[in-house]
Amino acid sequence: MKNGKTRWDWLLLDARAMTLADERGYGLIEDAAIGIVGNRIVYAGRRADLPLAPDTMAERVELLGGALVTPGLVDAHTHLVFAGHRAHEFDMRLNGATYAEIAQAGGGILSTVRATRAASEDELFAMSLPRARALLRDGVTTVEIKSGYGLDVESERRQLRVARRIGQALGITVRTTYLALHALAPEFVDRRKEFVDAVCQEWLPRLHGEGLVDAVDAFCEGIAFTPAETRRLFEAAGALGLPVKLHADQLSDLGGAALAAEFGALSADHLEYTNDEAVARMAKAGTVAMLLPAAYYCLRETTLPPVEAFRRQGVAMAVASDLNPGTSPILSLRLAMNQACTLFRLTPEEAIRGTTLHAARALGLAARKGRLAAGYDADLAVWEVGAPAELSYWIGGPGPTALFANGLRLH
């Protein structure tokens, strides 16, 4: 058998597999068998097609009692490493203040920056780990984690190091993103150009040199950074061979999604104000539309992202939590899937594709994650549900009964 071994490490039987192997549909296999060797899936198919008697084939054979097996979920947009919280802003917003007003008054992102700068690496790790653990309870085995609450090179480094540590501690896959232009650092007020210079010329190369950066991101918005500033960052990232992504068109249409597409971004994220022309450019560039319905919900937004245009133009839609202390204090990717259906009118099938294969693609991991197929990483979630749509339909309720990440059984 594969890898020179005589037996597979695992063989899962008496299961229904949601393989997502095809362009459309769930790719369901009734009476499926899944074989794992090391950190890889070596077989995902019909039990009847196994070449040998199942109980001779693997070290461990497990019967799943007819449960549904899906790929481990992928949360491809989070800011889960931070200190403190912003519950007081929740109060302010409920009393009528807008997100932009709070930001302009020195709250918002900058209040989390103050708390994050004051925390040591170990403190940040201890505060952030439970949030990552919470995502695992929904079957998440791959998480993207952004920096962006440091705004100086030491604090950004601390956030990125904590992100890597979380991956090691939990046995899951973590992709780090240097959110380089999130807010203007307070010590650079009135010196915007110098801040962008420092980011592009010093901090990005340094953090990249330390192996801490898998991708680069910015917040392109009236209350954050201009398209011209974002362009400079993307050029600097490109010169280092790093992929980019963008917080684009969340509160207004500044042309962010089109700019992301121009640079072949992995994803453009939020997209409530993205116009049809930009959607066409995303389609051409293969940029994934990263939908973040929990931020839309928390900010009580009313302008919907152009979901129908994404469908028409064939832009892959991903769904993520956007877990952050300001606009999306959500610790459940499945709640975000439910919101994507209820608020954005995605189908349950689009929602699960959006947290598996499309999310994997948005992290540059399309060949490894988000599907159950031979050669893919052995990231699997086992659910006691009958219909696949139940994964988006229930709000709360039990998570997966078993979870595998990179071939290791987490529970």
Binding stretches for ligand NIG (CB under 6 A): 79, 108-109, 112, 219, 247, 250, 295, 322, 324-328
Least Cβ distance, residue 87 to ligand NIG (angstroms): 13
Task: Give CA–CA dist 336/334, Å, rounded.
Answer: 5
Please choose which of Fe ion, ligand NIG, none residue 325 contacts, taking the beta carbon within 5 to 8 angstroms, the exact cut-off set by kind.
ligand NIG
- The nearer residue to ligand NIG, 286 or 329, going by C-beta atoms, is 329
32 binds, among Fe ion, ligand NIG, none (CB under 5 to 8 A by kind): none
Q: How far apart are CA 34 and CA 49, in angstroms?
A: 11
The rounded distance, in Å, linking the Cα atoms of 263 and 235 is 8
Residue 142 interface partner, choices ligand NIG, Fe ion, none, CB cut-off 5-8 Å depending on type: none
CA distance 73 to 296: 21
Binding partner of residue 326 among Fe ion, ligand NIG, none, CB cut-off 5 to 8 Å per kind? ligand NIG
Other Cβ atoms closer than 10 A to 30? 10
SS3 162: helix
CB 110 within 8 A of CB 150: no
Residue numbers at the binding site for Fe ion (CB under 5 A): 322
Q: What is the CA radius of gyration of the chain?
A: 21
Q: How far apart are CA 293 and CA 298, in angstroms?
A: 9
Nearer to ligand NIG, 83 or 315 (CB): 83
Query: Which entry of ligand NIG, Fe ion, none binds 233, CB below 5 to 8 A by partner kind?
Result: none
> Could you say which of Fe ion, ligand NIG, none residue 177 binds, taking C-beta under 5 to 8 angstroms by partner kind?
none
Distance CA 410, CA 379 (A): 10
Q: How far is the CB of 295 from ligand NIG (least distance, A)?
A: 5
**Which CB sits closer to ligand NIG, 297 or 393?**
297
Determine the Cα angle at 76 with ends 411 and 307, to 5°.
125
Q: Would strands 402-405 and 408-409 be described as parallel, antiparallel, or unpaired?
A: antiparallel
> Of 108, 119, 107, nearest to 82 (Cα)?
119
- How far the first Cα of the chain sits from its last, in Å, is 27
Residue number of the CB closest to Fe ion reads 322
- Phi, psi angles (nearest 5°) of residue 47: -60, -35
Nearer to Fe ion, 19 or 324 (CB): 324
- Closest contact distance (angstroms) between CB of 361 and ligand NIG is 20
User: Which two tokens mark 220?
Assistant: 């392109």
We find the least distance from the C-beta atom of residue 144 to ligand NIG, in angstroms, to be 12
Min separation Cβ 366 and Fe ion, Å: 21
- Smallest distance from the beta carbon of 113 to Fe ion, in angstroms? 15
Smallest distance, Fe ion to C-beta of residue 245, A: 10
In angstroms, give the least distance from the CB of 79 to Fe ion.
Answer: 6
Toward ligand NIG, which CB reaches closer, 232 or 247?
Answer: 247
Closer to ligand NIG by Cβ: residue 325 or 388: 325
Task: Compute the least distance from the CB of residue 295 to Fe ion, in Å.
Answer: 7
Amino acid at 350: E
The residue number whose beta carbon is nearest to ligand NIG equals: 326
Question: Going by DSSP bridges, is the β-strand pair 8-18/28-37 parallel, antiparallel, or unpaired?
Answer: antiparallel
Q: How far apart are CA 125 and CA 51, in angstroms?
A: 46
Residue 72 or 325: which CB sits closer to ligand NIG? 325
Residue 112 interface partner, choices ligand NIG, Fe ion, none, CB cut-off 5-8 Å depending on type: ligand NIG
CB 17 within 8 A of CB 34: yes
If contact means CB under 5 to 8 A according to the sort of partner, which of Fe ion, ligand NIG, none does residue 327 touch?
ligand NIG
Cα 19–Cα 20–Cα 21 angle in degrees, nearest 5: 85
Smaller CB distance to ligand NIG: residue 203 or 296?
296
In terms of CB distance, is 150 or 325 closer to ligand NIG?
A: 325
